[in-house]
Amino acid sequence: MVNGQYSMFNVKKMKVLIATEKPFAAAAVSGIKEVIEGAGYEVALLEKYTEKSQLLSAVADADALIIRSDKVDAEVLDAAKQLKIVVRAGAGYDNVDLEAATAHKVVVMNTPGQNANAVAELVLGLLVYTVRNFYNGKSGSELMGKTLGILAFGNVGRNVARIAQGFGMKVMAYDAYCPAEAIEQAGVKAAASQAELFKEADIVSLHIPATAETKQSINKALCSTMKKGAILINTARKEVIDEAGLIALMKEREDLKYITDIMPDADAEFKQFEGRYFSTPKKMGAQTSEANTNAGIAAAKQIVGYLKDGITKFQVNK
Ligand code: 3PG
């Protein structure tokens, strides 16, 4: 048993804290409880918290933590004296300070793929909404026959491709870490570069993580090569966009649209582009009962697997 401190003579149960500023669907919470309690552990729930201090006090006696986009930094890890594992129920783990977690001997995992379909469905939903002029009654256009460029062909990108193909779209993708053959196997044209993808697609959908390499990488120079009337859709991370550059470009090019599921820091400025800009008020991509349940239960099982058997599959820190 991890750390060896819970012997059969010790009655204290391991505590798993679910800390979600944006709560899971109720069905997901029940599913997580079933897995955790079934393993003989206790569940604590901190939802819709508004102050970091609430998280700091809730983690004090937690052995494991399930989060979504909740920030886990050195301060949180310092406060979590018993913590052994954090599972980000979702794909992107840029909200967790991996170095600090490693320094605190805390294992960090994500649950890749579990919410991918939900995000992909939202992409197509937002695109229909956009090409139909936000349902304002004016004649719009269709997605069939248009070229969709998918930037990064991971779990979400693949699901976007599958659904877009159902719409009759031409789909192309570029992924610096995925060989062209793997993209072509999915019936998707592999672009030779990110630059080619931006030049050739009518719509570019972003599915890159926020890393040192990708932050601010979607900039004015790149977007200025987009086709007339192009749409940039972002259900990934706001940090990948050079917001000032995109605003400057959208001022110059009245044909470009920016649609996002992650409200930009410069939301107020983007709002000047009426009819060409839309942001969900809160990130909605993974906000379905199915995605919450898949990701939440996967997180719970990964915690049990680690605490009972030391299984470190899906660990993202070293
Ligand atoms: C992810 O990285 O899994 C998605 O961005 C979903 O994030 P959320 O759990 O905060 O909705």
Q: Does a structural domain hold residue 154?
A: yes
- Looking at the structure, tell me whether residues 103 and 126 fall in a common domain: no
What is the distance in A from the centroid of ligand 1 to the CA of 252?
Answer: 33
- Looking at the structure, tell me whether residues 109 and 120 fall in a common domain: no
Q: Does a structural domain hold residue 6?
A: no
What is the distance in A from the centroid of ligand 1 to the CA of 1?
Answer: 31
Indicate whether residue 154 lines ligand 1 (CB < 6 A).
Answer: no
- Looking at the structure, tell me whether residues 216 and 261 fall in a common domain: yes
- Looking at the structure, tell me whether residues 187 and 235 fall in a common domain: yes
For residues 67-86, average pLDDT:
98
Indicate whether residue 92 lines ligand 1 (CB < 6 A).
Answer: yes
Residues 6 or more apart from 175 whose CB is under 8 A from it?
151, 152, 153, 154, 157, 183
3-state secondary structure of 109: strand
- Rounded Cα distance between 210 and 207, Å, is 10
Indicate whether residue 161 lines ligand 1 (CB < 6 A).
Answer: no
Residue 4 has pLDDT above 50, yes or no: no
Q: Report the atom number in ligand 1 closest to the C-alpha of 92.
A: 2
Widest Cα–Cα separation across the chain: 72
Indicate whether residue 292 lines ligand 1 (CB < 6 A).
Answer: no
Indicate whether residue 238 lines ligand 1 (CB < 6 A).
Answer: no
Residue nearest ligand 1's atom 9 by CA: 68
- Rounded Cα distance between 1 and 297, Å, is 21
- 89 neighbors 67 (Cβ within 8 angstroms): yes
Indicate whether residue 207 lines ligand 1 (CB < 6 A).
Answer: no
Token match 């936000």: residue? 134
- Looking at the structure, tell me whether residues 65 and 171 fall in a common domain: no
Burial state string for 250-269 with b = 16 or more CB within 10 A and e = fewer than 16: beeeeebbbbbbbebeeeeb
Residue 2 has pLDDT above 70, yes or no: no
What is the distance in A from the centroid of ligand 1 to the CA of 8?
Answer: 38
Residue 8 has pLDDT above 60, yes or no: no
- Looking at the structure, tell me whether residues 181 and 238 fall in a common domain: yes
- Looking at the structure, tell me whether residues 240 and 102 fall in a common domain: no
Give pLDDT tens digits for 277-296.
999 999 999 999 999 999 99
What is the distance in A from the centroid of ligand 1 to the CA of 229?
Answer: 29
pLDDT attached to residue 70 = 98
Indicate whether residue 146 lines ligand 1 (CB < 6 A).
Answer: no
Q: What six digits make up the tokens of 166?
A: 């159902």
- Looking at the structure, tell me whether residues 184 and 236 fall in a common domain: yes
Intra-chain end-to-end CA distance of the chain, in Å = 20
pLDDT attached to residue 11 = 66
Residues 6 or more apart from 170 whose CB is under 8 A from it?
145, 146, 147, 148, 189
Give pLDDT tens digits for 220-242.
999 999 999 999 999 999 999 99
Which one of 20, 21, 68 would you pick to mutate in the ligand 1 pocket, going by the greatest count of ligand atoms within 8 A of its CB?
68
**Domain, as residue range, for 212:** 116-279
Q: Does a structural domain hold residue 8?
A: no
Residue 3 has pLDDT above 60, yes or no: no
Cα–chain-centroid distance for residue 295? Answer: 11
Burial state string for 221-231 with b = 16 or more CB within 10 A and e = fewer than 16: ebbeebbeebb
Q: Does a structural domain hold residue 314?
A: no
* Mean pLDDT value across the chain: 96
Task: Please tell me the total count of domains within the chain.
Answer: 2
Indicate whether residue 296 lines ligand 1 (CB < 6 A).
Answer: no
Indicate whether residue 90 lines ligand 1 (CB < 6 A).
Answer: yes
What is the distance in A from the centroid of ligand 1 to the CA of 109?
Answer: 14
Q: Given pLDDT bands bounded at 50, 70 and 90, which one contains residue 36?
A: very high
Indicate whether residue 20 lines ligand 1 (CB < 6 A).
Answer: no
Q: What six digits make up the tokens of 47?
A: 């939802």
Could you say which DSSP state residue 238 is in? G
Give pLDDT tens digits for 152-194.
999 999 999 999 999 999 999 999 999 999 999 999 999 999 9
Give pLDDT tens digits for 189-221.
999 999 999 999 999 999 999 999 999 999 999
Could you say which DSSP state residue 28 is in? H
- Looking at the structure, tell me whether residues 182 and 273 fall in a common domain: yes
Backbone angles phi, psi at 186, to 5 degrees: -90, 10
Residue nearest ligand 1's atom 10 by CA: 69
pTM: 0.95
Could you tell me the CATH number of the domain that includes residue 235?
A: 3.40.50.720
Residue nearest ligand 1's atom 6 by CA: 286
| β 231-234/257-260 pair status | parallel
For residues 252-274, average pLDDT:
98
Q: Given pLDDT bands bounded at 50, 70 and 90, which one contains residue 71?
A: very high
- Looking at the structure, tell me whether residues 125 and 245 fall in a common domain: yes
Q: What six digits make up the tokens of 172?
A: 């192309």
Q: Does a structural domain hold residue 75?
A: yes
Q: Given pLDDT bands bounded at 50, 70 and 90, which one contains residue 44?
A: very high
Token match 């809160």: residue? 282
What is the distance in A from the centroid of ligand 1 to the CA of 12?
Answer: 32
Residue 6 has pLDDT above 70, yes or no: no
Q: Given pLDDT bands bounded at 50, 70 and 90, which one contains residue 17?
A: very high
Could you say which DSSP state residue 91 is in? S
- Looking at the structure, tell me whether residues 99 and 29 fall in a common domain: yes
Q: Looking at 50-155, which runs of residues are DSSP E strands?
A: 64-67, 85-88, 107-110, 147-151
Q: Given pLDDT bands bounded at 50, 70 and 90, which one contains residue 136?
A: very high
- Looking at the structure, tell me whether residues 103 and 178 fall in a common domain: no
pLDDT attached to residue 9 = 56
Q: Does a structural domain hold residue 3?
A: no
